[in-house]
Amino acid sequence: MKKLLALVLVFMLALGVLSACGTPAADPTEPPADDGGDVTTPDDGGENTPASDVTISVAALQSAYENNYPGMWQEVCDAFTAETGIKVELVVEMNLEDVIGPAMQGGEYPDVIHLATGRPAGLTEQFIKDKNIAEITDVLSMTVPGEDVTVGDKLIEGFVNDSSGTNPYSDGKTYLAPMFYGPCGLFYNAGLLEEKGWEVPTTWDEMWELGDKALEEGIYLFTYPTTGYFDAFFYALLYEAGGDQFFYDATHYAEGIWDTEEAQACFDILEKLASYTNPITPAQANNQDFTMNQQLVLDNKAIFMPNGNWVIGEMAEAPRAEGFEWGMIPLPAITEGGDRYSYTFFEQAWIPAGAEHIDAAKQFLSFLYSDVAAEIFAKGSGVQPIEGIVDNLSGDNGVYYSVYENGAKAALGTFASFKSVAGLNTAAEVFFDPFNSLVSGTQTMDDYITNLKSASDQMRANLS
C-alpha cells in the first residue's frame, strides 16, 4: 500500500513538471468562436464601403516607436474610426505573443496584427508556414481612406514583391503589409575615428587595415549585440557578393549556391570578421546581456556593430566615451568601387486567415499608409514606407534615412519560409548563431559551411 502511495506521489510530482509546459489547448478542430456579437462582416459590400457598425480588433506590438510616443497606436485607431466609422478595439503589448497567443490557439483571432518577423517567439513565421494569413494583394489597389490615391501608388517601390518578404510564397500574392522601415548598417563612434584620424572604410580591405591599426591601440574592429543582428548584415553581404539574382537564389536555398565563388567571398569575410571581433562578445550575446556588447562601442572597445537606428534610443541613457557621436555606414564594398548595400529592415502587419472582419481589416491596413497615420507614426519615429516620407524627416532620422541617397543601395528580403521539420533548425540558427562559435574558435569555417549546406538542402526540400 505504501509502495503504491509512494508511486502515486511520485507520479503527481512528475505531473507537476509537465503542468509547467502543457497548457490546456482547445480542440483545434473547433471552428473559430462565433458568439453572435458584432458579426456584420460586410462581405456583400464593396471594398470601400464603410461598415460603420463593425468593430475590428487590432493587436500591435508595443515597440520602441510606441514607447517614444505613448498612445501612438490609439491615435491612429481613433483617426481611422473618425475617417471610416469602423470602431477599433486595440491591444498594444510588449509581449504581444503571450497576450494574443492563447486566444488564437483557441481559434479567436484579432482582425489585424502588427508583429514583425524575426521575433524570438516567431509567431508571424508560424502563421506564414501554416498558410494561415489572409491574402491582401487587393489592398494594394484600394484607395487610402480619406485620400484619392491607392495604397500601391503610395508605397515606395521595391517594398512589395516576391523577394522582399511581403509575398512569402513567391507567387506574386501579397500577404504581409510592410510597416515602419529603417536602414540597418554598421554603427560606430564617429568621434573616435575622427579623433584618431582614421578614415571610414569603404571596402573590406580598408576595413581589415583599420582593424589592424585599431588593435594596436587595444580596440577591436567589430562586435555584435546578438547573432540575431546578423540578418541585416548577412543579407546586405549576399547582395554585395552577387546582386539581386544571387540574393534570391541564396535565400531560396538554390542547389549548389553555397559552392559558388560569390558565397565563398561571403564566407571569407565572415571568417576574417570573426577574428577581428572583440572576443568577449559571444559571452554577452544573449537577450539578457546584449546591451553590454552595444556598450563596447560606446566605450571604444569595439568600433563597428551591425544595428538599426533604434539603438540610439536604446542606449540613450548609457555612459559613453568622451566625444562620442553616432555614425552609420552601409556595408563596405567587397571590391574597390563595388556596390555597397544597406539592408532595409521593415516590420509587418497582417490579417490572420481566421479573422472575423477581413474586409474592414483591409481598410484598416490601407489606412496605415494615409498621410494622417504616417504623421502620427512619425511622432514616435516610426517611418512608413510611403513615397516622399524622407523629405519630411527631421534631425537624426533624416541622416540615417539619407544613407540611400549617398550611394548605398537598398537591400530588401529575407530567407524564404520553409515547412518546419523536426531536427532542422531555423534559418537564424543555421546561418547566424554559429558566428558565436566562430569567434570563440569552437567551430571552424569548414564545419560551419558543411552544416549550412546540409541544412540548406533540407530547407530547399521543404520550401513552403
Which residue, 1 or 13, has its beta carbon nearer to another protein? Answer: 13
Alpha-carbon span 103 to 432, nearest angstrom: 32
**Min CB(237)–another protein separation in Å:** 20
For residue 286, the minimal CB distance to another protein (Å) is: 4
d(CA 331, CA 186): 7
Q: Which is nearer to another protein, 227 or 344 (CB)?
A: 227
Gap between the Cα atoms of 36 and 459, Å rounded: 43
Nearest distance, CB of residue 440 and another protein, angstroms: 5
Q: How far is the CB of 388 from another protein (least distance, A)?
A: 37
C-alpha cell at 375: 504623421
- Alpha-carbon distance 142 to 138, whole Å? 7
Task: Closer to another protein by CB, 421 or 463: give it.
Answer: 421
Query: Please, which residue, 22 or 46, has the CB nearer to another protein?
Result: 22
**Percentages of the chain per state (helix, strand, coil), in multiples of 5:** 45, 15, 40
Rounded to the nearest whole angstrom, what is the least distance from the CB of residue 443 to another protein in the complex? 7
> Which residues are registered as beta bridge partners of 92?
60
SS (H, E, C) 369-406: CCHHHHHHHHHCCCCCCECCCHHHCCHHHHHHHHHHCC
The Cα 127–Cα 100 span in angstroms is: 13
Closest to another protein by CB, 353 or 390 = 353
Measure CA 131 to chain center.
19
Which residues have a Cβ under 8 Å from the Cβ of 247 and sit 6 or more positions away? 163, 235, 238, 239, 411, 413
Q: Which is nearer to another protein, 265 or 459 (CB)?
A: 459
Binding site for another protein (CB under 8 A): 6-7, 10-11, 13-25, 28-29, 101, 104-105, 107, 120-123, 125-127, 129-130, 132, 226-227, 279-280, 282-289, 292, 301, 354, 420-423, 425-426, 429, 433-434, 436-437, 440, 442-443
Smallest gap from residue 354 Cβ to another protein (A) = 7
